[in-house]
Amino acid sequence: MAVRTRRRIRVRWFGVAFILLWSLVPIYWTINTSLQTEAQAGGKPSHYLPPTPTLKNYTSLLGGSGAVPDQIRRSTINILVECGAATIVTVLLSTLAAYAFARMTFRGRNVLFYTVLGTMAFPAYTTLIPLYRILGDFGLVNTYTGIVLVYVSGFLPLATWIMYNYLTSLPSAIEEAGQVDGANRIQILWHVLLPLALPGIVSTAIITFLFSWTQFLFPLVLSTDLSTQPLTVVVQALQGQHVVPSTLLSAAGVIAIAVPAVIGLTLNRYIVSGLLSGSVK
**Which contacts of 123-132 are long-range, i.e. CB under 8 A and separated by 24 or more positions?**
124/154, 124/218, 125/217, 128/217, 128/218, 128/221, 131/218, 131/222, 132/221, 132/222
Question: Toward other proteins, which CB reaches closer, 65 or 257?
Answer: 257
Query: Would you say how long the chain is, in residues?
Result: 281
Q: How far is the CB of 84 from other proteins (least distance, A)?
A: 16
Q: How far is the CB of 138 from other proteins (least distance, A)?
A: 10
Question: Toward other proteins, which CB reaches closer, 26 or 64?
Answer: 26
Q: How far is the CB of 67 from other proteins (least distance, A)?
A: 19
Question: Toward other proteins, which CB reaches closer, 4 or 67?
Answer: 4
Instruction: Tell me the torsion sign for CA atoms 26, 28, 34, 39.
Output: negative
Question: Toward other proteins, which CB reaches closer, 46 or 65?
Answer: 46
Q: How far is the CB of 117 from other proteins (least distance, A)?
A: 5
Q: How far, CA to CA in Å, does 279 sit from each of 165, 272, 274?
A: 10, 11, 9
Q: How far is the CB of 70 from other proteins (least distance, A)?
A: 20
Q: How far is the CB of 188 from other proteins (least distance, A)?
A: 9
Mapping DSSP to helix (H, G, I), strand (E, B) and coil, where does residue 211 land?
Answer: helix
Question: Toward other proteins, which CB reaches closer, 73 or 237?
Answer: 237
Question: Toward other proteins, which CB reaches closer, 198 or 275?
Answer: 275
Task: Tell me the HSE value of 131 on the side-chain side, using a 13 A CA sphere.
Answer: 23
As to burial, measured by CB atoms within 10 angstroms (0-12 exposed, 13-18 middle, 19+ buried), residue 230 is: buried
Q: How far, CA to CA in Å, does 137 sit from each of 126, 134, 148, 156?
A: 19, 5, 17, 23
